[in-house]
Structure 1
Amino acid sequence: MILIGFLLFLTACGYEIENPHNWEVQEFKYINQDGKEVALESLKGKVWLANFIFTNCDTVCPPMTANMAKIQGLLHEEGIENVEIVSFTVDPEVDTPDVLKEFAGKFDADFSNWHFLTGYSQDEIETFARESFKSLVQKIKGEPQVGHGTSFYVVDKEGIIKQSYSGVDVPFEQIIKDVKSLN
Protein backbone atom coordinates (compact mmCIF):
# COMPACT_ATOMS: atom_id res chain seq x y z
CA MET A 1 0.00 0.00 0.00
CA ILE A 2 2.86 2.37 0.83
CA LEU A 3 4.46 1.60 -2.53
CA ILE A 4 1.22 2.49 -4.35
CA GLY A 5 1.00 5.78 -2.44
CA PHE A 6 4.63 6.56 -3.26
CA LEU A 7 4.09 5.80 -6.95
CA LEU A 8 1.02 8.05 -7.00
CA PHE A 9 3.10 10.78 -5.34
CA LEU A 10 5.83 10.41 -7.95
CA THR A 11 3.24 10.48 -10.72
CA ALA A 12 1.86 13.77 -9.41
CA CYS A 13 5.32 15.36 -9.19
CA GLY A 14 5.95 17.36 -12.33
CA TYR A 15 2.47 16.57 -13.60
CA GLU A 16 0.58 19.45 -15.16
CA ILE A 17 -3.08 19.62 -16.04
CA GLU A 18 -3.53 19.23 -19.77
CA ASN A 19 -4.97 22.25 -21.61
CA PRO A 20 -5.87 24.23 -18.47
CA HIS A 21 -8.78 26.65 -18.75
CA ASN A 22 -7.17 29.39 -16.62
CA TRP A 23 -10.48 31.14 -15.99
CA GLU A 24 -10.48 33.54 -13.06
CA VAL A 25 -13.27 33.14 -10.49
CA GLN A 26 -14.90 36.49 -9.73
CA GLU A 27 -15.06 37.70 -6.15
CA PHE A 28 -18.01 36.32 -4.20
CA LYS A 29 -19.28 36.24 -0.64
CA TYR A 30 -22.23 33.91 0.00
CA ILE A 31 -23.57 31.82 2.89
CA ASN A 32 -23.39 28.08 3.35
CA GLN A 33 -25.73 25.46 4.77
CA ASP A 34 -24.80 26.56 8.31
CA GLY A 35 -25.44 30.26 7.61
CA LYS A 36 -21.68 30.96 7.64
CA GLU A 37 -20.04 33.21 5.11
CA VAL A 38 -17.87 31.62 2.42
CA ALA A 39 -15.97 33.96 0.12
CA LEU A 40 -13.45 33.56 -2.65
CA GLU A 41 -10.95 35.14 -0.26
CA SER A 42 -11.58 32.42 2.34
CA LEU A 43 -10.81 29.75 -0.27
CA LYS A 44 -7.50 31.31 -1.35
CA GLY A 45 -4.60 29.02 -0.50
CA LYS A 46 -6.75 25.92 -0.99
CA VAL A 47 -7.57 23.81 -4.02
CA TRP A 48 -11.32 23.48 -4.43
CA LEU A 49 -13.91 21.68 -6.49
CA ALA A 50 -17.10 23.41 -7.61
CA ASN A 51 -20.41 22.55 -9.20
CA PHE A 52 -23.92 23.93 -9.67
CA ILE A 53 -26.97 22.13 -8.26
CA PHE A 54 -30.42 22.76 -6.78
CA THR A 55 -32.50 20.77 -4.33
CA ASN A 56 -35.72 20.45 -6.36
CA CYS A 57 -33.87 19.09 -9.39
CA ASP A 58 -35.54 15.96 -10.70
CA THR A 59 -32.79 14.91 -13.12
CA VAL A 60 -29.02 15.42 -12.80
CA CYS A 61 -28.48 17.06 -9.39
CA PRO A 62 -28.99 14.03 -7.15
CA PRO A 63 -26.53 11.84 -9.11
CA MET A 64 -24.09 14.77 -9.41
CA THR A 65 -24.22 15.30 -5.65
CA ALA A 66 -23.70 11.58 -5.07
CA ASN A 67 -20.70 11.72 -7.42
CA MET A 68 -19.25 14.70 -5.56
CA ALA A 69 -19.75 12.81 -2.28
CA LYS A 70 -17.76 9.93 -3.80
CA ILE A 71 -14.97 12.37 -4.71
CA GLN A 72 -15.02 13.70 -1.14
CA GLY A 73 -14.59 10.12 0.10
CA LEU A 74 -11.75 9.44 -2.34
CA LEU A 75 -9.94 12.61 -1.26
CA HIS A 76 -10.23 11.44 2.34
CA GLU A 77 -9.05 7.90 1.48
CA GLU A 78 -6.02 9.31 -0.37
CA GLY A 79 -5.18 11.55 2.60
CA ILE A 80 -5.49 14.67 0.45
CA GLU A 81 -6.06 17.62 2.76
CA ASN A 82 -6.65 21.33 2.31
CA VAL A 83 -9.25 20.74 -0.43
CA GLU A 84 -12.70 22.34 -0.27
CA ILE A 85 -15.87 21.50 -2.19
CA VAL A 86 -18.32 24.23 -3.15
CA SER A 87 -21.79 23.54 -4.54
CA PHE A 88 -23.59 26.69 -5.70
CA THR A 89 -27.38 26.48 -5.79
CA VAL A 90 -28.92 27.72 -9.02
CA ASP A 91 -32.29 28.20 -7.27
CA PRO A 92 -31.42 30.56 -4.39
CA GLU A 93 -35.00 31.65 -3.69
CA VAL A 94 -35.96 28.07 -2.78
CA ASP A 95 -32.63 26.79 -1.48
CA THR A 96 -32.20 28.35 1.95
CA PRO A 97 -29.36 27.16 4.19
CA ASP A 98 -31.72 24.73 5.97
CA VAL A 99 -33.04 23.30 2.70
CA LEU A 100 -29.49 22.85 1.40
CA LYS A 101 -28.38 21.17 4.64
CA GLU A 102 -31.26 18.69 4.48
CA PHE A 103 -30.53 17.94 0.80
CA ALA A 104 -26.79 17.46 1.45
CA GLY A 105 -27.54 15.17 4.37
CA LYS A 106 -29.15 12.69 1.98
CA PHE A 107 -25.69 12.20 0.46
CA ASP A 108 -23.75 12.05 3.74
CA ALA A 109 -21.89 15.23 2.81
CA ASP A 110 -19.09 16.01 5.25
CA PHE A 111 -19.59 19.70 6.02
CA SER A 112 -16.06 20.12 7.35
CA ASN A 113 -14.93 20.90 3.79
CA TRP A 114 -18.10 20.94 1.67
CA HIS A 115 -20.11 24.15 1.37
CA PHE A 116 -23.56 24.36 -0.20
CA LEU A 117 -23.90 28.05 -1.05
CA THR A 118 -26.87 30.41 -1.35
CA GLY A 119 -27.61 34.00 -0.34
CA TYR A 120 -27.68 35.70 -3.73
CA SER A 121 -30.25 36.61 -6.36
CA GLN A 122 -31.17 34.52 -9.37
CA ASP A 123 -29.63 37.15 -11.67
CA GLU A 124 -26.44 37.13 -9.64
CA ILE A 125 -25.89 33.35 -9.88
CA GLU A 126 -26.71 33.36 -13.59
CA THR A 127 -24.11 36.08 -14.22
CA PHE A 128 -21.55 34.53 -11.86
CA ALA A 129 -21.84 31.08 -13.48
CA ARG A 130 -21.54 32.53 -16.98
CA GLU A 131 -18.67 34.91 -16.31
CA SER A 132 -16.56 32.79 -13.95
CA PHE A 133 -17.32 29.21 -14.98
CA LYS A 134 -18.43 29.78 -18.59
CA SER A 135 -21.58 27.87 -17.67
CA LEU A 136 -25.22 28.57 -18.45
CA VAL A 137 -27.72 28.89 -15.61
CA GLN A 138 -31.27 29.84 -16.55
CA LYS A 139 -34.48 29.82 -14.57
CA ILE A 140 -37.56 30.19 -16.71
CA LYS A 141 -40.39 32.08 -15.02
CA GLY A 142 -43.09 29.79 -13.74
CA GLU A 143 -41.00 26.64 -14.22
CA PRO A 144 -39.83 24.62 -11.18
CA GLN A 145 -36.67 23.34 -12.86
CA VAL A 146 -33.56 25.43 -13.55
CA GLY A 147 -31.39 24.84 -16.59
CA HIS A 148 -27.71 24.57 -15.70
CA GLY A 149 -24.46 22.90 -16.68
CA THR A 150 -23.43 19.55 -15.23
CA SER A 151 -19.68 20.08 -14.95
CA PHE A 152 -17.37 19.73 -11.98
CA TYR A 153 -14.53 22.26 -11.85
CA VAL A 154 -11.15 22.16 -10.16
CA VAL A 155 -9.92 25.55 -8.95
CA ASP A 156 -6.34 26.24 -7.90
CA LYS A 157 -5.11 27.99 -4.74
CA GLU A 158 -5.28 31.41 -6.45
CA GLY A 159 -8.91 31.07 -7.55
CA ILE A 160 -8.19 30.07 -11.16
CA ILE A 161 -10.36 27.38 -12.74
CA LYS A 162 -7.91 24.90 -14.18
CA GLN A 163 -10.18 22.20 -15.59
CA SER A 164 -13.77 21.00 -15.95
CA TYR A 165 -15.13 17.46 -16.05
CA SER A 166 -18.47 15.74 -16.51
CA GLY A 167 -20.36 15.66 -13.22
CA VAL A 168 -22.51 12.80 -14.53
CA ASP A 169 -20.00 10.47 -16.20
CA VAL A 170 -17.23 11.38 -13.77
CA PRO A 171 -13.53 10.70 -14.42
CA PHE A 172 -12.83 10.15 -10.70
CA GLU A 173 -9.17 9.14 -11.08
CA GLN A 174 -8.39 12.13 -13.31
CA ILE A 175 -9.98 14.57 -10.88
CA ILE A 176 -7.99 13.14 -7.95
CA LYS A 177 -4.79 13.28 -10.02
CA ASP A 178 -5.45 16.90 -11.02
CA VAL A 179 -6.27 17.94 -7.45
CA LYS A 180 -3.05 16.32 -6.22
CA SER A 181 -1.03 18.18 -8.84
CA LEU A 182 -2.36 21.52 -7.57
CA ASN A 183 -2.26 20.81 -3.85
Structure 2
Amino acid sequence: MTRTHTTVIALVAVVALVMGLTVYKALNRPNQLDPARLLDAGIVQLPQSRELPALTLTNQDGQSQAVDALTGRWTLLFFGYTFCPDICPTTLAELRQLQGLLSEEDRQRLQVVMVTVDPARDTPEQLKQYLGFFDAGFRGLTGELDQIQALSGRVGIPFIPGNESLPNYTVDHSGNLALLGPDGRQQGFIRAPLKVQKLAEALPALLASQP
Protein backbone atom coordinates (compact mmCIF):
# COMPACT_ATOMS: atom_id res chain seq x y z
CA MET A 1 0.00 0.00 0.00
CA THR A 2 1.44 3.38 -1.01
CA ARG A 3 1.80 6.40 1.23
CA THR A 4 -0.87 8.18 -0.84
CA HIS A 5 -3.35 5.35 -0.27
CA THR A 6 -2.62 5.40 3.45
CA THR A 7 -3.21 9.15 3.60
CA VAL A 8 -6.51 8.88 1.74
CA ILE A 9 -7.75 6.11 4.02
CA ALA A 10 -6.80 8.15 7.09
CA LEU A 11 -8.64 11.21 5.77
CA VAL A 12 -11.74 9.15 5.02
CA ALA A 13 -11.67 7.74 8.54
CA VAL A 14 -11.38 11.22 10.06
CA VAL A 15 -14.25 12.54 7.95
CA ALA A 16 -16.41 9.55 8.92
CA LEU A 17 -15.61 10.10 12.59
CA VAL A 18 -16.49 13.79 12.42
CA MET A 19 -19.75 13.06 10.61
CA GLY A 20 -20.62 10.36 13.12
CA LEU A 21 -20.05 12.69 16.06
CA THR A 22 -22.11 15.42 14.39
CA VAL A 23 -25.04 13.07 13.82
CA TYR A 24 -24.77 11.73 17.38
CA LYS A 25 -24.86 15.22 18.86
CA ALA A 26 -27.80 16.22 16.66
CA LEU A 27 -29.79 13.17 17.75
CA ASN A 28 -28.94 13.52 21.41
CA ARG A 29 -29.28 17.24 22.04
CA PRO A 30 -31.20 17.64 25.31
CA ASN A 31 -32.88 20.81 24.04
CA GLN A 32 -34.04 19.36 20.74
CA LEU A 33 -37.79 19.83 20.19
CA ASP A 34 -39.62 16.52 20.39
CA PRO A 35 -43.36 16.85 19.58
CA ALA A 36 -44.15 13.53 21.30
CA ARG A 37 -42.36 14.63 24.46
CA LEU A 38 -44.14 17.98 24.44
CA LEU A 39 -47.51 16.28 24.03
CA ASP A 40 -46.73 13.86 26.85
CA ALA A 41 -46.09 16.89 29.07
CA GLY A 42 -49.50 18.31 28.14
CA ILE A 43 -48.19 20.86 25.62
CA VAL A 44 -50.35 21.02 22.50
CA GLN A 45 -48.86 23.02 19.64
CA LEU A 46 -51.15 24.69 17.12
CA PRO A 47 -50.55 23.88 13.44
CA GLN A 48 -50.66 27.62 12.81
CA SER A 49 -50.16 30.40 15.38
CA ARG A 50 -53.04 32.72 16.26
CA GLU A 51 -52.99 36.49 16.49
CA LEU A 52 -54.37 37.94 19.72
CA PRO A 53 -57.11 40.57 19.55
CA ALA A 54 -56.09 44.21 19.67
CA LEU A 55 -57.60 45.10 23.04
CA THR A 56 -56.23 46.70 26.20
CA LEU A 57 -56.63 45.50 29.77
CA THR A 58 -55.26 46.78 33.09
CA ASN A 59 -52.44 45.09 34.96
CA GLN A 60 -52.02 44.57 38.71
CA ASP A 61 -50.26 47.94 39.00
CA GLY A 62 -53.15 49.81 37.37
CA GLN A 63 -51.28 50.28 34.09
CA SER A 64 -52.70 49.66 30.62
CA GLN A 65 -51.55 46.50 28.87
CA ALA A 66 -52.27 45.73 25.23
CA VAL A 67 -52.71 41.96 25.11
CA ASP A 68 -51.17 41.70 21.65
CA ALA A 69 -48.05 43.38 23.07
CA LEU A 70 -47.20 40.52 25.46
CA THR A 71 -43.96 39.97 23.58
CA GLY A 72 -40.29 39.29 24.21
CA ARG A 73 -40.85 36.23 26.39
CA TRP A 74 -42.91 33.06 26.31
CA THR A 75 -46.15 33.62 28.22
CA LEU A 76 -48.40 31.18 30.06
CA LEU A 77 -51.83 32.83 30.02
CA PHE A 78 -54.14 31.56 32.76
CA PHE A 79 -57.80 32.55 33.12
CA GLY A 80 -58.82 32.49 36.78
CA TYR A 81 -59.97 34.65 39.68
CA THR A 82 -58.87 35.46 43.19
CA PHE A 83 -62.01 34.15 44.93
CA CYS A 84 -61.61 30.74 43.25
CA PRO A 85 -61.81 27.94 45.84
CA ASP A 86 -59.78 25.27 44.08
CA ILE A 87 -58.47 25.43 40.48
CA CYS A 88 -56.71 28.79 40.74
CA PRO A 89 -54.68 28.39 43.93
CA THR A 90 -53.71 24.87 42.87
CA THR A 91 -52.66 25.94 39.37
CA LEU A 92 -50.69 28.95 40.57
CA ALA A 93 -48.94 26.86 43.22
CA GLU A 94 -48.00 24.32 40.54
CA LEU A 95 -46.69 27.08 38.27
CA ARG A 96 -44.56 28.38 41.13
CA GLN A 97 -43.25 24.84 41.61
CA LEU A 98 -42.52 24.64 37.87
CA GLN A 99 -40.49 27.84 38.01
CA GLY A 100 -38.43 26.37 40.82
CA LEU A 101 -37.52 23.40 38.64
CA LEU A 102 -36.35 25.52 35.70
CA SER A 103 -32.92 27.06 35.30
CA GLU A 104 -32.50 30.80 35.83
CA GLU A 105 -32.04 31.23 32.08
CA ASP A 106 -35.32 29.47 31.35
CA ARG A 107 -37.17 31.39 34.06
CA GLN A 108 -36.10 34.61 32.36
CA ARG A 109 -37.63 33.36 29.11
CA LEU A 110 -41.02 32.69 30.69
CA GLN A 111 -43.75 34.74 32.37
CA VAL A 112 -47.07 33.77 33.93
CA VAL A 113 -50.04 36.09 33.43
CA MET A 114 -53.40 35.51 35.10
CA VAL A 115 -56.37 37.14 33.38
CA THR A 116 -59.31 37.42 35.77
CA VAL A 117 -62.65 35.95 34.80
CA ASP A 118 -64.24 37.92 37.65
CA PRO A 119 -63.46 41.59 36.94
CA ALA A 120 -66.33 42.76 39.16
CA ARG A 121 -64.36 41.71 42.25
CA ASP A 122 -60.80 41.49 40.91
CA THR A 123 -59.52 45.05 40.93
CA PRO A 124 -55.84 45.67 40.17
CA GLU A 125 -55.22 45.95 43.91
CA GLN A 126 -56.96 42.65 44.62
CA LEU A 127 -54.98 40.92 41.87
CA LYS A 128 -51.69 42.31 43.13
CA GLN A 129 -52.33 41.20 46.70
CA TYR A 130 -53.48 37.73 45.66
CA LEU A 131 -50.64 37.04 43.22
CA GLY A 132 -48.18 38.35 45.80
CA PHE A 133 -49.06 35.41 48.06
CA PHE A 134 -47.30 33.11 45.58
CA ASP A 135 -44.12 35.22 45.58
CA ALA A 136 -43.30 34.16 42.02
CA GLY A 137 -43.48 37.38 39.98
CA PHE A 138 -46.81 36.44 38.41
CA ARG A 139 -48.63 39.22 36.57
CA GLY A 140 -52.38 39.89 36.54
CA LEU A 141 -54.82 41.50 34.11
CA THR A 142 -58.34 42.77 34.62
CA GLY A 143 -60.74 44.90 32.60
CA GLU A 144 -64.19 44.91 31.03
CA LEU A 145 -65.92 41.52 31.03
CA ASP A 146 -66.72 41.62 27.31
CA GLN A 147 -63.08 42.24 26.44
CA ILE A 148 -61.91 39.41 28.68
CA GLN A 149 -64.44 37.09 27.05
CA ALA A 150 -63.22 38.17 23.62
CA LEU A 151 -59.66 37.28 24.60
CA SER A 152 -60.58 33.94 26.17
CA GLY A 153 -62.64 33.02 23.13
CA ARG A 154 -59.81 33.88 20.74
CA VAL A 155 -57.33 31.65 22.56
CA GLY A 156 -59.84 28.82 22.92
CA ILE A 157 -60.27 28.90 26.71
CA PRO A 158 -63.84 30.16 27.29
CA PHE A 159 -65.53 30.59 30.66
CA ILE A 160 -69.04 31.12 32.03
CA PRO A 161 -69.39 34.40 33.98
CA GLY A 162 -70.69 34.12 37.53
CA ASN A 163 -74.05 35.37 38.71
CA GLU A 164 -73.05 38.56 40.51
CA SER A 165 -76.45 38.81 42.20
CA LEU A 166 -75.59 35.80 44.36
CA PRO A 167 -73.39 36.09 47.44
CA ASN A 168 -70.04 34.32 47.16
CA TYR A 169 -70.71 33.37 43.54
CA THR A 170 -68.23 31.25 41.62
CA VAL A 171 -67.12 31.29 37.97
CA ASP A 172 -67.01 28.20 35.79
CA HIS A 173 -63.62 28.20 34.06
CA SER A 174 -60.86 25.93 32.80
CA GLY A 175 -57.42 25.17 34.20
CA ASN A 176 -55.89 25.06 30.72
CA LEU A 177 -53.20 27.59 29.83
CA ALA A 178 -52.74 29.46 26.58
CA LEU A 179 -49.14 29.34 25.38
CA LEU A 180 -47.94 32.58 23.75
CA GLY A 181 -44.62 32.89 21.94
CA PRO A 182 -42.17 35.80 22.21
CA ASP A 183 -43.83 37.19 19.08
CA GLY A 184 -47.06 37.68 21.05
CA ARG A 185 -49.00 35.08 19.07
CA GLN A 186 -50.63 32.00 20.51
CA GLN A 187 -48.52 28.94 19.79
CA GLY A 188 -50.59 26.36 21.65
CA PHE A 189 -52.05 25.19 24.95
CA ILE A 190 -50.94 23.46 28.11
CA ARG A 191 -53.64 21.09 29.26
CA ALA A 192 -54.82 20.73 32.83
CA PRO A 193 -54.10 19.10 35.20
CA LEU A 194 -50.50 20.28 34.94
CA LYS A 195 -47.75 17.67 34.81
CA VAL A 196 -45.17 19.75 36.62
CA GLN A 197 -42.18 17.40 36.40
CA LYS A 198 -42.73 16.57 32.74
CA LEU A 199 -43.25 20.24 31.92
CA ALA A 200 -39.95 21.09 33.62
CA GLU A 201 -38.22 18.53 31.41
CA ALA A 202 -39.95 19.46 28.13
CA LEU A 203 -40.27 23.25 28.35
CA PRO A 204 -36.55 24.22 28.06
CA ALA A 205 -36.39 23.03 24.45
CA LEU A 206 -39.49 25.06 23.60
CA LEU A 207 -38.30 28.14 25.45
CA ALA A 208 -35.01 28.06 23.54
CA SER A 209 -36.80 27.85 20.18
CA GLN A 210 -38.29 30.63 18.09
CA PRO A 211 -41.97 30.47 17.10
Same fold by TM-score greater than 0.5? yes
Match of 1:138 in 2: 160
Given the alignment of the two structures, is residue 156 of structure 1 paired with residue 175 of structure 2, yes or no? no
CA distance in 1, matches of 2:189, 2:68: 21
**Secondary structure in 1 matching 2:178:** strand
Structure 1 residues 42 and 30, CA gap change in structure 2 (3 angstroms): same
Q: Answer yes or no: is the 8 Å Cα contact 1:155–1:161 preserved in 2.
A: yes
Given the alignment of the two structures, is residue 90 of structure 1 paired with residue 117 of structure 2, yes or no? yes
Deviation per CA, 1:10-43: give whole Å up to 9, x if none: 3324656676212322223222111222223542
Tell me by how many angstroms 1:64 deviates: 0.7
Residue 174 of structure 2 aligns with an amino acid whose one-letter code is G
Q: Which has the larger radius of gyration?
A: 2
What TM-score results when the alignment is normalised by the length of structure 2? 0.69
**Secondary structure in 2 matching 1:51:** strand
**Secondary structure in 2 matching 1:79:** helix
What TM-score results when the alignment is normalised by the length of structure 1? 0.78
Given the alignment of the two structures, is residue 79 of structure 1 paired with residue 102 of structure 2, yes or no? no
**Secondary structure in 2 matching 1:20:** strand
Count residues with an aligned counterpart: 171
Query: Whose helix fraction is larger, Structure 1's or Structure 2's?
Result: 2
CA distance in 2, matches of 1:145, 1:25: 27
CA distance in 2, matches of 1:149, 1:27: 23
Match of 2:21 in 1: none
Aligned with residue 94 of structure 2, among 55, 58, 67? 67
Deviation per CA, 1:63-121: give whole Å up to 9, x if none: 0111122233334x3422243221101101100111111111221122xxx31111x22
Q: Answer yes or no: is the 8 Å Cα contact 1:60–1:168 preserved in 2.
A: no
Match of 2:193 in 1: 168
User: % of aligned pairs identical?
Assistant: 25
- Unpaired segments of 5 or more residues in structure 2? 1-24
Match of 1:117 in 2: 141
Query: Whose strand fraction is larger, Structure 1's or Structure 2's?
Result: 1
Deviation per CA, 1:126-157: give whole Å up to 9, x if none: 22201x21112111323511111111222112
Q: Answer yes or no: is the 8 Å Cα contact 1:67–1:168 preserved in 2.
A: no
CA distance in 1, matches of 2:84, 2:152: 17
Aligned with residue 12 of structure 1, among 31, 34, 49? 31
Structure 1 residues 175 and 145, CA gap change in structure 2 (3 angstroms): farther
- Unpaired segments of 5 or more residues in structure 1? 1-5
Root-mean-square deviation (CA, aligned residues, Å) is 2.7
Tell me by how many angstroms 1:172 deviates: 2.1
Tell me by how many angstroms 1:176 deviates: 4.0
**Secondary structure in 2 matching 1:181:** coil
Residue 181 of structure 1 aligns with an amino acid whose one-letter code is S
